[in-house]
Amino acid sequence: MPHLELSGISQSFRRADGSLHRVLAECSLAIERGEFVSIVGPSGSGKTTLFNVIAGLAAPQSGTVAIGGVPVDGPSARVAYMLQKDLLMPWRTTLENVTLGLEIRGVPVREARRRGGELLERYGLAGSEGLYPGALSGGMRQRAALIRTMVLEPEIVLLDEPFSALDYQTRLMLEADVRRIIHERGCTAILVTHDIDEAVSISDRVVVLGGKPASVKLDVQIELTVEGTHTPATAREAPEFRRYHKAIWEQLEVTLPGAA
């Protein structure tokens, strides 16, 4: 049984002028446990809509979402997500931000602090427990947001362009961390992005959304021959990288200005 199964998801919105805007049409997707899948598509292709449906933040107008065979009807403790905005609360220290979710779920403060502190230390934020987000760099903030997500021990992690606001070096570093941490914890991950390089270098599989309304246009397993450890940097050096990149690029129907 797939870990996450979307079948026949359709979604549309009423525009301000009353006309109907169809975003997703009959989207189906099955994701296995432990898979790292990227969903790529041009802006407005319904990536975020799909994301919200999987997260249980929006109910699809038709179709079903099931996690481990159980239909999803609202935010689930088995799913956690991370966005482009780190959404750290400026009045909470790094540790307090990380333990926010545990606090809400009623985990005793001591226990929450212990678990949060452990992850902060393990994932390179030792020493910043007591700092407020204002004192952290963009990369550190996003790392704290990742730990806030992981400390909830989700089965499925949804990532909505979490790297897009970072500079290139920080981005590569954080991509490597996210990939490693998610594999280490045995989570299933879905990354929404418009960056093909990122998708190919980090994922086991890339799904391209396209068309209006959007549906799955390409679903490709990524198998890269990487020398040494697989990191987003080494993955980009793999001989197959360009081929995947090209295949995905062609599906995006990018019309460049000036091209007829």
Question: Is-contact 65 52, C-beta < 8 A?
Answer: no
- Tell me whether residue 34 or residue 56 sits nearer to another protein (CB atom): 56
- Tell me whether residue 79 or residue 226 sits nearer to another protein (CB atom): 79
Backbone torsions φ then ψ of 77, nearest 5 degrees: -65, -15
Rounded to 5, what percent of the chain is helix, strand, coil?
35, 25, 40
Min. distance of Cβ 73 from another protein in angstroms? 14
Task: Give 16's contacts (C-beta < 8 A, 6+ positions apart).
Answer: none
Min. distance of Cβ 100 from another protein in angstroms? 7
Min. distance of Cβ 116 from another protein in angstroms? 14
Closest to 107 measured CA to CA, from 151, 76, 156:
151
Element (H, E) at 23: strand 20-31
- Tell me whether residue 56 or residue 210 sits nearer to another protein (CB atom): 56
- Tell me whether residue 162 or residue 232 sits nearer to another protein (CB atom): 162
- Tell me whether residue 46 or residue 101 sits nearer to another protein (CB atom): 101
Edge-first strand order for the sheet with 215-221 is 79-82, 156-160, 188-193, 36-40, 205-210, 215-221
d(CA 83, CA 20): 27
Min. distance of Cβ 199 from another protein in angstroms? 23
Min. distance of Cβ 257 from another protein in angstroms? 32
Q: How many residues does the chain have?
A: 260
Min. distance of Cβ 4 from another protein in angstroms? 16
- Tell me whether residue 92 or residue 183 sits nearer to another protein (CB atom): 92
- Tell me whether residue 84 or residue 215 sits nearer to another protein (CB atom): 84
Token digits for 121?
A: 């230390």
Token digits for 135?
A: 């004192």
Min. distance of Cβ 36 from another protein in angstroms? 21
Distance of alpha carbon 251 from its chain centroid, rounded? 21
Q: Which amino acid is at 173?
A: M
In the three-class reduction of DSSP (H, G, I as helix; E, B as strand; rest coil), residue 227 is classed as coil
Residues in contact with another protein by CB under 8 A are 55-57, 75, 77, 79-81, 83, 85, 87, 89-93, 100-101, 103-105, 132-135, 137, 152
